[in-house]
């Protein structure tokens, strides 16, 4: 992830703010060796999976081990008007972790305890540094699972902050639907709680949902209460190949419109299948493919699968392959999750620029097919994967980072794609967030009025603009 930036020109330039030595001294005095100013540590916290790499790193990294640590670090930073940037595992794709205005990083990775498993209520309360895989490992014996799966083994705090989703969202929703409550350290260092463990509430403003997706700009999430789900009695996964992307997409649309409670329905285009075959040593047919999963009682899974097979057959779907053992399923989903790396490996030295549009399901074919034609015509190598049941898909444009021309072409393709998605009543980002890269798209999507309302909220809750400044919109 250390190749030169490909999107530097899109990043709004704002002056770095000074981090006074007095603050660094105070942090060192308070946190001891849990505050690091070593360059290698700072650099590791000054980048993420985005294409931005030339931003100077934060001036220090505080390794928080408790809410009190976070509160203390924020309060000290606030006293010096210094930005704070929360850090989970660093898997953001949109530059969320970069110290574009300077400041300090607060790494919550050591806050990785599962605090309370309430199996009988289908809830769990965790610290923000718990990762989704760790969580599922720790709750395994309860017969429950946490379905949100953005691919990366992201932290729950980071997933909350970006309103993440992924392959299971079509059935189980996104972080928006699955966070019940939060503990948050505000811009003054105060600790507040939002929500309860009740499954619904009409008690005042929905601060939980305001914080979910606020990308660290309104507070640092220090505790998350999540919904869990019973592990389905039966699970079955299948792959099905199609003669065209259109056939796969039309199959998906019909599955959704019929209300089939499919748990996962992922599109993988022929390019991506080829890359995945090479990377994961598989021999999937090199055609557009749907990768599906069904959850339920044995009878319900069978019924869903039969209906879906009929729909797929109507669209010339063939080569249906079932994976019913956990091992087979893991192999398939691991291959799916490695698409990004398979793509990168397919073109030595390249970088991927990932798109993230999401449109109403009826507009999916229009949006996708026009965009595929456009990128095919451009000559840029790419792969295409999608959480198509939600209308969400990602192109990975595989560009030579040394080529200004390819970079410009990719950005132009992305702009056209976003414009198309917005015209089709969709969004510029289904799950990755705005970060540094999509501020203009946010205004185009929601209008200046709504962005100004967001800005007013930010001004009210963070009057010194120290909470992850320079992300989502400029202050």
Neighbours of 268 (CB within 10 A): 27
24 binds its own copies, rule: CB under 8 A: no
Region 156-175 residues binding its own copies, contact defined as CB under 8 A: 162-165, 169, 173-174
| Nearer of residues 35 and 78 to its own copies, judged by Cβ | 78
- 122 is an interface residue for its own copies by CB under 8 A: yes
Residues 357-376 that bind its own copies (CB under 8 A): 358-363
Closest by CA position to 173, among listed 119, 117, 224, 229? 229
Q: Give which of 221, 208, 167 is closest to 334, Cα–Cα.
A: 167
Of these, 29, 243, 257, 404, which contacts its own copies (CB under 8 A)? 257
Alpha helices in 190-288 (DSSP H): 207-211, 245-257, 270-280
Sheet holding 35-36, edge to edge: 35-36, 60-63, 104-107, 84-87
Judged by CB under 8 A, the number of residues near its own copies is 90
Q: Which stretch binds its own copies (CB under 8 A): 4-12, 44-52, 117-125, 328-336?
A: 117-125
Question: Nearest approach, Cβ of 176 to its own copies (angstroms)?
Answer: 7
Binding mask 264-303 for its own copies (x = CB under 8 A): --------------------------------xx-xx--x
* Shortest Å distance, C-beta 462 to its own copies: 10
CA dihedral 26, 31, 32, 33 (to 10 degrees): -130
Q: Report residue 134: phi and psi, to 5°.
A: -60, -45
**Binding range to its own copies, per CB under 8 A, among 28-36, 74-82, 256-264, 330-338:** 256-264
Binding mask 172-201 for its own copies (x = CB under 8 A): -xx-xx--------x---xxxxx-xxxxxx
Min. distance of Cβ 400 from its own copies in angstroms?
Answer: 29
Task: Return the residue of 212, 220, 262, 372 that touches its own copies, per CB under 8 A.
Answer: 212
Nearest approach in angstroms of CB 228 to its own copies is 10
CB 321 to its own copies: min, Å: 25
Bridge-based pairing state of the strands 60-63 and 104-107:
parallel
Task: Provide, rounded to whole angstroms, the least separation between the CB of residue 379 and its own copies.
Answer: 30
Comparing CB distances to its own copies, the nearer of 173 and 401 is 173
91 part of the interface to its own copies, by CB under 8 A: no
Distance CA 400, CA 125 (A): 43
Shortest separation between residue 443's beta carbon and its own copies, angstroms: 9
Q: Does 141 bind its own copies (CB under 8 A)?
A: no
Neighbour-count burial of 348, counting CB atoms closer than 10 A to its CB (0-12 exposed, 13-18 middle, 19+ buried): exposed
Supply the minimum distance, in Å, between the C-beta of residue 449 and its own copies.
4
- Half-sphere exposure (CA, 13 Å, Cβ side) for 401? 19
Q: Going residue by residue from 394 to 433, which x/- string records binding to its own copies, judged by CB under 8 A?
A: ----------------------------x--xxxxxxxxx
Among 1, 319, 453, 474, binds its own copies (CB under 8 A): 453
Nearer to its own copies, 199 or 318 (CB): 199
Q: Which two tokens stand for residue 402?
A: 């040394």
| Shortest Å distance, C-beta 283 to its own copies | 33
Query: CB of 237: closest distance to its own copies in angstroms?
Result: 19
Q: Does 459 bind its own copies (CB under 8 A)?
A: yes
Q: How far, in whole angstroms, is CA 292 from its chain's centroid?
A: 20
Are 416 and 371 in contact by the 8 Å Cβ rule? The answer is yes
- Starting at the edge strand found earlier in the chain, the sheet holding 264-268 runs 318-323, 234-241, 289-296, 264-268, 382-387, 392-399, 351-354
Ranges of beta strands (E only) in 127-228 are 144-145, 179-185, 191-194, 220-227
Among 100, 207, 262, 388, binds its own copies (CB under 8 A): 207
Give Cα separations from 285 to 242, 268, 269, 331, 333 (angstroms).
10, 11, 11, 16, 16
**140 in contact with its own copies (CB under 8 A):** no
DSSP state of 16: P
């Amino acid at each position: 992830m250390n190749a030169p930036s490909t999107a530097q020109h899109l990043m709004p330039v704002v002056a770095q703010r000074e981090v006074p030595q007095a603050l660094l001294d105070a942090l060192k005095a308070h946190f001891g060796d849990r505050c690091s100013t070593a360059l290698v540590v700072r650099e590791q916290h000054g980048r993420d999976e985005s294409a931005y790499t030339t931003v100077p790193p934060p001036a220090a990294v505080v390794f928080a081990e408790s809410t009190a640590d976070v509160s203390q670090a924020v309060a000290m930073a606030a006293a010096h008007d210094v930005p704070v940037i929360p850090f989970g595992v660093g898997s953001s794709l949109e530059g969320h972790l970069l110290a574009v205005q300077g400041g300090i990083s607060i790494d919550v990775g050591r806050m990785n305890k599962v605090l309370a498993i309430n199996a009988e209520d289908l809830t769990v309360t965790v610290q923000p540094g718990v990762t989704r895989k760790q969580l599922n490992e720790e709750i395994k014996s309860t017969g429950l699972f946490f379905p949100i799966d953005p691919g990366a083994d992201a932290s729950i705090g980071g997933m909350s902050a970006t309103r993440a989703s992924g392959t299971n969202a079509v059935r189980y929703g996104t972080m928006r639907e699955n966070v019940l409550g939060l503990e948050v350290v505000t811009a003054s260092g105060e600790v507040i709680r939002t929500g309860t463990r009740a499954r619904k509430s009409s008690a005042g403003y929905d601060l939980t949902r305001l914080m979910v997706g606020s990308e660290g700009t309104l507070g640092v999430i220090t505790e998350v209460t999540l919904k869990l789900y019973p592990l389905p009695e039966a699970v079955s996964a299948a792959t099905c190949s199609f003669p065209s992307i259109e056939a796969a997409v039309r199959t998906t649309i019909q599955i959704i419109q019929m209300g089939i409670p499919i748990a996962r329905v992922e599109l993988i285009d022929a390019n991506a299948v080829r890359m995945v075959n090479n990377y994961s040593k598989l021999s999937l047919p090199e055609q557009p493919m749907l990768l599906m999963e069904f959850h339920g009682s044995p009878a319900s899974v069978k019924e869903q699968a039969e209906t879906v097979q009929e729909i797929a057959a109507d669209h010339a779907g063939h080569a249906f392959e079932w994976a019913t053992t956990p091992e087979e399923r893991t192999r398939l989903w691991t291959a799916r999750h490695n698409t990004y790396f398979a793509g990168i490996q397919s073109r030595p030295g390249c970088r991927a620029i990932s798109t993230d549009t999401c449109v109403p399901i009826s507009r999916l074919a229009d949006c996708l097919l026009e965009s595929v034609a456009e990128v095919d015509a451009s000559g840029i190598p790419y792969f295409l994967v999608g959480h198509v049941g939600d209308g969400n898909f990602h192109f990975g444009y595989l560009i030579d980072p040394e080529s200004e021309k390819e970079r410009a072409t990719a950005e132009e393709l992305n702009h056209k794609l976003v414009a198309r998605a917005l015209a089709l009543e969709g969004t510029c980002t289904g799950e990755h967030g705005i970060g540094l890269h999509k501020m203009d798209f946010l205004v185009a999507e929601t209008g200046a009025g709504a962005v100004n309302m967001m800005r007013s909220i930010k001004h009210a809750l963070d009057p010194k603009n120290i909470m992850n400044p320079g992300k989502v919109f400029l202050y």
